[in-house]
């Protein structure tokens, strides 16, 4: 899957009837009174009006109602609870997870003429592809809940529902209780959650005009049987998350950034010397080491590792600099993440190939915390000598 469209989970099959209704909360979950005026009234081309944001703290303290996941657990035997998901889009902006519960907040934009009668969230949760955190695992990219589809590893077992009249809140919060089809513990791994929803049945709005869907899949982990939000990343359609790498730019004095967010980094088998010119059978030469990042927090982390070379006198970066605006998401377990890294010294440096002389090298690891702040952690330095000429053919 190489396109943005292919990365998204396929929509479930459509149905001809909505799911059974459940108990609903009062409209007090909306922080302020709804703005007056009809929704989807006389002029269906007019943009849908919006009310004040929903209050997440009230959703967090509300009672949940059970959800029957039979349409997913027994594909083809029950109907998708939403007849349509075309009435609007929710853009996820934050996610919180604890135990087996997840709360997702996002900006809700309904299409002109859409109805809003409250919030009854749905979700499809599938495993992420082991080589692409933003894509569904093999076998889960097509529609679920239909004949021949696999049962997902996790499903929604309960949720908070709200009822309301008038315009939709500009921001809503969905609270879901996740479980499995067979009531087993939540399976550890990396997951994508596709959020959707509509007004609860009986709310006075037509279900086929109230169904909406999230713009992107929400990232979730399960570690030791408990849900965990991915630090610094709510969604990641390209498998990366924004990070500030300016401290690793050319000409910057190398220094740690932040408190490390629990991350550590080491360099094994560092190269003590490198030649100023590449050998005939080499594309380039550079400083190498096996770089390992470790953390007590396991699960998906924004993580980039590498090597930088500095001048010993002032600590200024002269090779291995970074200027990207994002870093990849990687799985961190008890063994850490270990990769062979190279800081090229004959090309791609800050000012051409490094001249012969003495330098210092560090391994680094970059992460982003839950608040979006970038942390840069450095290994112990090692001395690196750049030798004249190219390495002899006999080594």
Which stretch, 144-153, 178-187, 235-244, has highest mean pLDDT?
Answer: 178-187
The yes-or-no verdict on residue 7 having pLDDT over 60 is no
Any domain includes 395: no
Output the six-digit token pair for 10: 């396929």
Pair 255, 366 in one domain: yes
The yes-or-no verdict on residue 69 having pLDDT over 80 is yes
Pair 228, 256 in one domain: no
Pair 268, 344 in one domain: yes
Lowest mean pLDDT among 24-28, 213-217, 253-257, 386-390: 24-28
The yes-or-no verdict on residue 203 having pLDDT over 80 is no
The DSSP secondary structure of 299-347, one letter per residue, reads: EEEE-EEEEEEE-TTT-BEEES----SEEEEEEE-TT-EEEEEEEESSS
Between 10 and 355, name the one with better pLDDT.
Answer: 355
> What is the average pLDDT across 134-148?
91
Lowest mean pLDDT among 206-215, 246-255, 364-373: 206-215
The yes-or-no verdict on residue 83 having pLDDT over 60 is yes
Query: Alpha-carbon distance 64 to 347, whole Å?
Result: 59
Pair 16, 138 in one domain: yes
Any domain includes 286: yes
pLDDT value, residue 208: 58
pLDDT, tens digit, 9 for 90 and up, residues 346-381:
988 898 899 999 999 999 999 999 999 999 999 999
Any domain includes 122: yes
Report yes or no: 375 and 245 within 8 Å, Cβ to Cβ. Answer: no
Any domain includes 153: yes
Pair 211, 260 in one domain: no
Output the six-digit token pair for 298: 């396991």
The yes-or-no verdict on residue 12 having pLDDT over 60 is no
Pair 346, 216 in one domain: no
Q: Are strands 50-51 and 168-169 parallel, antiparallel or unpaired?
A: parallel
pLDDT value, residue 335: 95
Pair 217, 123 in one domain: yes
Lowest mean pLDDT among 44-48, 74-78, 378-382: 44-48
287 three-state secondary structure? strand
pLDDT, tens digit, 9 for 90 and up, residues 85-140:
888 999 999 999 999 999 999 999 988 888 888 899 999 999 999 989 999 999 99
> What is the average pLDDT across 297-326?
95
Alpha-carbon torsion, ordered 356, 357, 363, 365, to 10 deg? -80
Query: Alpha-carbon distance 129 to 141, whole Å?
Result: 10
Pair 227, 279 in one domain: no
CATH number reported for the structural domain that contains residue 253 in this entry: 2.60.40
Query: Alpha-carbon distance 223 to 49, whole Å?
Result: 41
The region, left, alpha or beta by phi > 0 then psi within -120 to 50, assigned to residue 364 is: beta
220 three-state secondary structure? strand
Number of domains in the chain: 2
Lowest mean pLDDT among 219-228, 258-267, 275-284: 275-284
pLDDT value, residue 202: 45
Q: Where are the alpha helices (DSSP H) in the chain?
A: 4-7, 56-60, 70-73
pLDDT value, residue 49: 62
pLDDT value, residue 113: 81
- How many residues are there in the chain? 395
The yes-or-no verdict on residue 72 having pLDDT over 70 is yes
Report yes or no: 359 and 286 within 8 Å, Cβ to Cβ. Answer: no
pLDDT value, residue 223: 97
pLDDT value, residue 342: 97
Pair 207, 262 in one domain: no
Where is the domain boundary, 211, 236, 261?
236
Pair 367, 340 in one domain: yes
- Tell me the percentage of the chain whose pLDDT exceeds 90: 65
Where is the domain boundary, 175, 208, 236?
236
Report the 10 Å Cβ neighbour count for 78.
Answer: 16
Pair 29, 110 in one domain: yes
The yes-or-no verdict on residue 41 having pLDDT over 50 is no
Pair 251, 285 in one domain: yes
Output the six-digit token pair for 306: 């590498």
Where is the domain boundary, 236, 261, 278?
236
Report yes or no: 379 and 363 within 8 Å, Cβ to Cβ. Answer: yes
pLDDT value, residue 36: 38
β-strand partners of 12: none
* Side-chain half-sphere CA neighbours of 120 within 13 A: 28
Which of 366, 264, 388, 370 has its CA nearest to residue 320? 366
Cβ neighbours of residue 344 closer than 8 Å, sequence gap 6 or more:
284, 285, 286, 319, 320
Residue 371's alpha-carbon distances to 230, 234, 246, 287, 374, in angstroms, are 11, 11, 18, 34, 9
Lowest mean pLDDT among 65-69, 182-186, 346-350: 346-350
> What is the average pLDDT across 74-83?
88
Any domain includes 42: yes
The yes-or-no verdict on residue 10 having pLDDT over 90 is no
pLDDT value, residue 100: 97
Query: Alpha-carbon distance 332 to 390, whole Å?
Result: 38
Alpha-carbon torsion, ordered 196, 201, 204, 209, to 10 deg? 40
What is the overall mean pLDDT for the chain? 86
pLDDT band at 57 (very low <50, low <70, confident <90, very high): very high
pLDDT value, residue 24: 38
pLDDT value, residue 394: 61
Any domain includes 317: yes
Any domain includes 123: yes
The yes-or-no verdict on residue 315 having pLDDT over 70 is yes
Enclosing domain of residue 113: 4-236
Q: Would the CA dihedral through 151, 154, 157, 159 be positive or negative?
A: negative
Query: Alpha-carbon distance 368 to 372, whole Å?
Result: 6
Any domain includes 12: yes
The yes-or-no verdict on residue 263 having pLDDT over 70 is yes
């Amino acid at each position: 899957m190489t396109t943005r469209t292919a990365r998204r989970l396929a929509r479930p099959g459509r149905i001809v009837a909505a799911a059974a209704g459940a108990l609903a909360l009062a409209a007090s979950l909306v922080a302020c009174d709804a703005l007056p005026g009809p929704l989807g009234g006389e002029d269906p081309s007019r943009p849908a009006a919006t009310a004040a944001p929903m209050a997440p703290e009230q959703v967090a303290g509300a009672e949940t109602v059970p959800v029957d996941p039979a349409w997913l657990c027994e594909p083809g035997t029950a109907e998708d609870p939403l007849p349509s998901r075309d009435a609007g889009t929710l853009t996820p902006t934050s996610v919180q997870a604890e135990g087996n519960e997840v709360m997702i907040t996002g900006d809700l934009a309904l299409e002109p003429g859409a109805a809003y009668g409250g919030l009854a969230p749905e979700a499809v949760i599938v495993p992420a592809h082991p080589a692409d955190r933003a894509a569904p695992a093999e076998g889960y990219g097509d529609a679920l809940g239909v004949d021949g589809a696999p049962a997902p590893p996790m499903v929604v077992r309960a949720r908070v529902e709200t009822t309301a009249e008038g315009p939709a809140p500009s921001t809503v919060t969905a609270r879901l209780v996740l479980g499995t089809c067979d009531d087993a513990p939540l399976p550890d791994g990396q997951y994508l959650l596709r959020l959707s929803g509509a007004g609860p049945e009986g709310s006075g709005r037509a279900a086929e005009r109230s169904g909406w869907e999230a713009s992107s899949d929400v990232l979730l982990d399960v570690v030791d049987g408990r849900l965990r939000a991915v630090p610094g990343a709510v969604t990641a359609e390209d498998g990366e998350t924004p990070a500030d790498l300016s401290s690793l730019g050319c000409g910057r004095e190398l220094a740690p950034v932040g408190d490390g967010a629990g991350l550590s980094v080491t360099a094994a088998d560092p190269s003590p010397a490198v030649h100023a010119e590449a050998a005939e059978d080499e594309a380039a030469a550079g400083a190498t080491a096996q770089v390992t990042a470790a953390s007590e927090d396991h699960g998906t982390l924004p993580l980039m590792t590498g090597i930088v070379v500095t001048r010993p006198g002032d600590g200024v970066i002269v090779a291995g600099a970074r200027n990207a605006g994002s870093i990849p998401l990687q799985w961190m377990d008890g063994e850490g993440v270990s990769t062979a890294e190279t800081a090229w010294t004959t090309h791609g440096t800050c000012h051409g190939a490094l001249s012969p002389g003495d330098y210092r090298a560090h391994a680094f690891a970059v992460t982003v915390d839950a608040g979006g702040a970038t942390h840069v952690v450095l290994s112990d330095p090692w001395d690196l000598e750049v030798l004249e000429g190219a390495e002899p053919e006999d080594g």
